[in-house]
Amino acid sequence: MTSSALATFTLHDGGGVPLVLLHGFPLDHRMWAACAEHLPPGIRAIGVDLPGAGHSDLDGFQPSIEHTADRVYRTMVAGGEGNAVVVGHSMGGYVALALAERHPGFVAGLGLVNTKSTADTEQAHAKRLRVAAAAESDQTVDAVLGMPADLVGGTSAKHRRHLFPLLDSWIRAQSPAGVAWAQRAMAARPDRTAVLEQFDAPVAVVVGAEDTITPLAEAEHMVRAAGRPSHFSAGDAALTIVPGAGHLSVVEDPQAAAAALGLLHAQVVAHH
């Protein structure tokens, strides 16, 4: 079985080591567009559609975050990229950690945005399998249409109402098969906290202060794992807490996320 390249999109022009942006569930590369616009000049940003999302196909492989990471890696190498600052939002963060584990030479820096290094609880695992089964049996994405209420924080729910129709249109554009595949892939992933303990390059962790899906405690857990003094100089594993934003801080406050990623990129350039 062969695996085709994933769809990629240049979201910000520049040169040197690119930022590779991996989206969360059930979205695609478009969630990064506003954030990429606010990046400092000169940073190239490449958005990727993960398997079964946006313009990327499912290639017949079993659902797997590890396979997804390998596909991102092969897509980037085929595109001529020798390394990258890999930034993942939520599900994209699970993929970023798998990339750091499986292709450490490729990952020049890690941006972990509203995500976690821990595995699912039994309850979360069972819920994913129910959502996957519903998407497959109904052949719709109805099971995830309610997610925006949990994705954005309380502040956005009150003051950024325009995000709801936008998120709804992004989610309705996904395929039931892609939604089911991603849920099964996430359900099967292990705890990757140890990857952060081993990772020897800059790390930035970003979390919305109002995130209830991957809350601040998960972000702090990752910073602690990444920040071992034997591996890091002070400030390497920076934690940015975005006020007034929830799980989708990148969309709710794109400027704040872009500032954190700009600093990460500068650290990577200085580290080289």
> Residue 151 pairs with which residues in a beta bridge?
none
d(C-alpha 239, C-alpha 69), whole Å: 24
Work out whether 213 is an interface residue with ligand MLT (CB under 6 A). Answer: yes
> Residue 208 pairs with which residues in a beta bridge?
242
Work out whether 68 is an interface residue with ligand MLT (CB under 6 A). Answer: no
Phi, psi of 234 (to 5 degrees): -55, 140
Work out whether 52 is an interface residue with ligand MLT (CB under 6 A). Answer: no
d(C-alpha 254, C-alpha 259), whole Å: 9
Query: Contact with ligand MLT (CB under 6 A): which of 17, 22, 31, 91?
Result: 91
Closest by Cα among 272, 265, 268, 267 to 42: 265
- Of 25 and 73, which has the nearer Cβ to ligand MLT? 25
Work out whether 25 is an interface residue with ligand MLT (CB under 6 A). Answer: yes
Q: Is there a contact between 91 and 63 (Cβ–Cβ < 8 Å)? A: no
Query: Contact with ligand MLT (CB under 6 A): which of 90, 117, 249, 267?
Result: 90
Binding-residue pattern over the window 228 to 257 for ligand MLT, x denoting contact by CB under 6 A:
-------------------x----------
Minimum CB distance to ligand MLT, residue 92 (Å): 7
d(C-alpha 155, C-alpha 255), whole Å: 16
- Of 25 and 199, which has the nearer Cβ to ligand MLT? 25
Residues that bind ligand MLT (CB under 6 A): 24-25, 90-91, 186, 213, 247
